[in-house]
Amino acid sequence: MKSNDAQAKFWTELGRLLGGGVPLLEALESLSRGPAGPLRQAVRRAAASVRGQRSFSDGLRASPKVFGPAVVDAVRRAEAAGDLDRAAARLGENRPIKGLPPPRAMRRFGELVARAAREGASAIHVASVFDEKSQVSVPQLRLRVGGALGRPERLSDADYREVLSRTKQLSGLDLAEQKLPQEGRMMLELGGKRLDVQASFAPCVLGERLALRIFAHAEPRGLGDLKLPDEDAVRRWCRGPRGLVVLSGPALPENVLYALLAEARDGRQVATVEDPVESVLAGADQIQVEPRLGLTFPRALRAALRQEPDVLGLGDVSDGETARLAVEAALAGKLVFARVAAPDTSAALDRLAALGVDARLLSQALAGALAWKSVGRLCRRCRRQYEPTAAELVPFGDDADILRGLAYRAVGCRRCHGGYDGAITLWEARGPGETPLQPILRDGLSRVAQGLTSLEQLQPLGSG
């Protein structure tokens, strides 16, 4: 087979695999098993580059005799735009767009996501807001880094429209719809890393508002990676034969549910019900909820229970039927991890009661509860130590004694976002019939004393 034909076949197959949702590294490793020759060696080099957390285009650049500069440049631009599957299909048809930039919308969207990932942002907010000075609506962009929104940045009208359009296109949403809310999801390859980007559109008076939540897509890791203050207690829950473990907190780069399931499986049959399935968990039967098709959480949970799993993971418990089924499964001998939207462990248990779970049955089923919260991490370059006033300490009550009269505040410099650089996680764990082993507020105050975060970040946790 001629080298050009072999390359065309490689790109066509790569585009097909990526378009079908296969991760880039997995696709490259599959294609590297082809006939011996320069192309196979080049594909193996590219796979090694991606495996080493470098970009696909860097891997191609290592084989200049196989992949020329035009091909490498086309792949580099496609990575930035999150359009690698389509670029591979075009290369498979021997029609790369040589010397021409990608469409403006693709380029602007790719630049925006690449910048957000580079700066450690967890979300991108794009909106048209009213400007008091000019008395007109102005498109603006804000990044959320470490839980805090950055300063507003002006967008041109063209960039605003094109970012919204490209987001809808990649998320499989209706491009023409502007008067109804829409939600979608996309998987992007950027610098050898997979990003899970969840898009939410809201129709506002001055124009559509877009929120993009960004999750670095990583393989599920173990319990030790969570850096829990009460790791031994949580490990005992995971290794127990039965019971309900209630989880509450925002999405983290380290998927908490998956980490606990990985600790709990140990030869046991594991099943999950999720919306969405965020990663593939080895050895688990994972069910993706599809309400549009009638596959709701209760229906999916009943189907999972019929498979007789030993361990169950529920990505969201927000209705009475799912809550009651989870408790009944725990009482019947299953180990159930259930995520509930709540700010702390007490509120999570109250939420289950509000959904109609009998308090006596909940008490019998409960093995433990774990809550967490992300707060901004102070920039070590510019943070400033000071003595907080009595008024500042009032919301924290007697727990403020942890500080011993000293705290740190955000200042801001060129290398951070308003005094914060990334985020840290605060934890709270409690066993059945107990008060929290380490209340989330006390964990937060101990981090303030260490100079890791500020009292300002803990205000929502204060007793008032």
**Could you write out the DSSP letters of every residue in 405-450?**
T-EEE----TTSBTTEEEEEEEEEEE-TT---SS-HHHHHHHHHHT
Overall average pLDDT of the 403-430 stretch: 87
Question: Sorting pLDDT into bands at 50, 70 and 90, what band is 101?
Answer: very low
Evaluated on CA atoms 233, 239, 240, 242, the torsion sign reads: positive
1 pLDDT more than 50: no
Bond prior to 395 in cis (omega within 30° of 0): no
- What pLDDT, on the 0 to 100 scale, is given for residue 408? 94
423 pLDDT more than 90: no
Using DSSP bridges, classify how beta strands 384-386 and 407-409 pair: parallel, antiparallel or unpaired. antiparallel
329 pLDDT more than 80: yes
120 pLDDT more than 80: no
Question: Sorting pLDDT into bands at 50, 70 and 90, what band is 113?
Answer: confident
Lowest pLDDT segment from 84-93, 136-145, 149-158, 281-290: 84-93
| Annotation: CATH topology of 104-217 | Beta-Lactamase (3.30.450)
Q: What is the spatial distance between Cα 143 and Cα 117, in angstroms, rounded to a whole number?
A: 10
177 pLDDT more than 50: yes
Cβ atoms of 77 and 104 closer than 8 Å: no
Q: Please name the residue ranges forming H helices in 240-313.
A: 256-265, 297-306
Query: What is the rounded end-to-end Cα distance, in angstroms, of the chain?
Result: 74
Domain edges within the chain: 3-92, 104-217, 223-461
Evaluated on CA atoms 413, 414, 418, 423, the torsion sign reads: negative
**Distances in whole angstroms, Cα of residue 135 to Cα of each of 89, 131, 349:** 47, 5, 48
Mean residue pLDDT of the chain comes to 85
- What pLDDT, on the 0 to 100 scale, is given for residue 464? 45
309 pLDDT more than 90: yes
279 pLDDT more than 90: no
DSSP state of 350: H
Lowest pLDDT segment from 2-6, 39-43, 390-394: 2-6
Overall average pLDDT of the 444-453 stretch: 93
- What pLDDT, on the 0 to 100 scale, is given for residue 98? 39
200 pLDDT more than 70: yes
Contact partners, residue 405, CB within 8 Å, separation at least 6: 387, 388
Cβ atoms of 261 and 284 closer than 8 Å: yes
Question: Sorting pLDDT into bands at 50, 70 and 90, what band is 337?
Answer: very high
Structure tokens at 205: 């008076």
Q: What is the spatial distance between Cα 24 and Cα 26, in angstroms, rounded to a whole number?
A: 5
274 pLDDT more than 70: yes
Per-residue pLDDT tens digits for 54-70: 788 888 888 888 887 77
- What pLDDT, on the 0 to 100 scale, is given for residue 212? 93
Q: What is the spatial distance between Cα 338 and Cα 296, in angstroms, rounded to a whole number?
A: 16
* Partners of 376 in beta bridges: 423
Which of residues 50 and 334 earns the better pLDDT score? 334
Per-residue pLDDT tens digits for 237-268: 999 999 999 999 887 666 889 999 999 988 89
Overall average pLDDT of the 299-322 stretch: 96
- What pLDDT, on the 0 to 100 scale, is given for residue 69? 74
What CATH class has 3-92? mainly alpha
What CATH class has 223-461? alpha beta
104 pLDDT more than 70: no
Lowest pLDDT segment from 138-152, 187-201, 269-283, 357-371: 187-201
Cβ atoms of 74 and 97 closer than 8 Å: yes
In the sheet that 270-274 helps form, which strands lie side by side, from edge to edge?
284-288, 270-274, 311-314, 335-339, 243-248, 366-378, 420-430
- What pLDDT, on the 0 to 100 scale, is given for residue 463? 55
pTM of structure: 0.68
- What pLDDT, on the 0 to 100 scale, is given for residue 245? 97
Q: Please name the residue ranges forming H helices in 266-398.
A: 297-306, 320-331, 345-354, 359-365, 390-393
Residue % of the chain over a pLDDT of 70: 91
443 pLDDT more than 80: yes
Overall average pLDDT of the 70-77 stretch: 78
